[in-house]
Amino acid sequence: MRLGPPQVFDSNGSSTRVIDFTAPTQPNGQITAGSTWNFQVWYHDAQGTPTTVNLSDALNATFCP
């Protein structure tokens, strides 16, 4: 599942994604209490470099009630 819209990173390579837990995910109900999800960012390298893409380190998150 992709989360939109695309994120913008600052000059330090940092970005923040706010998740609204009161709005259902699509398809409905996938993020539930006790479920574990894995996240990874797929990104384009900085402007002025050859057009390449990379992947971030992965993050494992277990959602609590």
Q: pLDDT tens digits for 3-37?
A: 667 777 788 878 887 777 676 655 555 778 888 88
Read off the pLDDT band of 54 (50, 70, 90). Answer: confident
Chain centre to alpha carbon of residue 22:
18
Entry pTM? 0.54
Question: Quick one: pLDDT at residue 11?
Answer: 81
Q: How far apart are CA 20 and CA 56, in angstroms?
A: 23
pLDDT mean over 49-55: 73
Exposed / middle / buried, residue 25 (Cβ in 10 Å: 0-12, 13-18, 19+): middle
Residue at 48: amino acid letter: G
Residue with the bigger pLDDT between 31 and 51: it is 31
Q: How far apart are CA 33 and CA 51, in angstroms?
A: 40
Q: Hey, what are 44's tokens?
A: 């384009």
